[in-house]
Structure 1
Amino acid sequence: MRQAGTPRAVLGSIMPRINKPPPRIPMRGKAEEQGHREKYAAQLFEELNSSIFNNGLPRETKLNWNKRLLTTAGRAKWHRSRDGVQTTEIELAAKILDCDERIRNTLSHEMCHLACWIINGNPKEGHGQAFKAWADKVMIKRPEIEITTRHNYEISYPFEWKCEKCSKVYGRYSKSIRPDECVCGVCKVGKLIPLFVQRAPRTPKVSRMATSLPQGSPRPVAALEETRQIPANSTVYAISSEDEVDILIGAINNVTLHDGETPTRTI
């Protein structure tokens, strides 16, 4: 639970994109790309803090790249304890800020919030006059930066489904939508068609019976014919594997037969 005097700013909601997502990037390439973003954001924070905010923002402000921010580009946090110790943090959406332009605009936006709370001493300031004043200073000093109170970034989803009825497109970061179990939430009847290539499973599906029996085991067979009669008081052996043949033959040889009795084996 947040304590009083602990503001938190959330960047505006983001509209999902409906066009074709970009091709997948190898894991090694993703790590290198993310490393570039983190380095660029750290350098930009130092530059703006020095040239515009006169180093009024704590240098130890943590830039946290959050993979769970899916609808918000950035978020600023500030807290001051009773002892006067303040903690600052800026969260950046790792899955949304995929280029330098978005990083510049979002990071500058969140730094303006921190400036209002720390430099101006107004923890209740949102997107009022103080925020706009800091935003104007940033944009005058750095024309390549645009700070607004609401962002409509297009999100690149790796997996998308389209309703065959109303053409509504749903985007996800994983294959969490199962078309065979749900329908479109807009028209309530349309079937969702995947817009990505579906790969066949490498391991073929097998039945529970097949997985429960080892290789070489017998399979279920039809019942014995009703007309087939088995003499009363007879010993019946059912062979389930070749390994048991020798054991059963030895057991049969040791059976003591009485007059009129005939052993019966069923294989």
Structure 2
Amino acid sequence: MTAPPPAADPPGPLPASLALEPTLQAVQGLWRREWLRAPGQEDTTTEVHWIQAGRLHVDLRLPADLPDVRGARSLADLPPRVLRALARSEGFAGATAVERGVCTWTRRVNWRGPLDGPDVGALFFEEDALLERGVFADYAELWRREPAAPPLVARQLRRVDGQAAVLARAGDRFLLGRGAPGALAALAALPERLERALAHRHRGALRRLFDQEFCRGRLTPEGGIIERSTNPLREGALAFPPDAFVADTVRLTAQDFDGATQTTSWIPV
């Protein structure tokens, strides 16, 4: 479940013990990626978590070398090099289908914006490990299931302006993906659009680019508390109140580019 790397020689042969034909039911739960391998690339340090709850998924990927932003009040306080580093994160969420061991992740929201192509992987199980191999790109990822008690549930949400989000929980752990308005229809990926906004010192464009968040955290009596986020200034903040998985209207909190905290209402769809 990754952006296609450059085409080249595929990863090595599969272990003979791996069996095809996992189902959507079999991949339910909280997963942590152990490694990514592609031609000329191996990644064991990016922090990657994925919750599959029913047909919905949320995936968050944070590079290990993200800069320290302690002391900053808002994203607007950060220098361009730090904003560029934050733009290297990845997050996406949407619907999942598995047919004959081949999984298709249809992204409804995507941190980087427009998609490079379909996100499709062949899945193979071996005990608690799940191996994913790209169908339209040469890569392999190894996933391990994390222990998580019930419930396992997800909600697809929409705001009155059309902005989309997916909220998923596995026991007391959650992942939230909130996309930027119009990002999927953009003509360029987030890093390229960020460079243009920085070059023109376009504050409004920067606000729009970072009007999104992908985060993970824990459920507490106060609600969902963020532990890791594409906006590291949000770590420790409240993402949503405790009724978010049952309420008819879900209230999500956010911090805008200038540091103001906002609470908006979302409708399950």
Please classify the TM superposition score into its range, dividing by the shorter chain length: under 0.3
Report the structure number with the largest CA radius of gyration.
Answer: 1
TM-score, length-normalised on structure 2?
0.19
Greater fraction helix: 1
Greater fraction strand: 2
TM-score, length-normalised on structure 1?
0.19
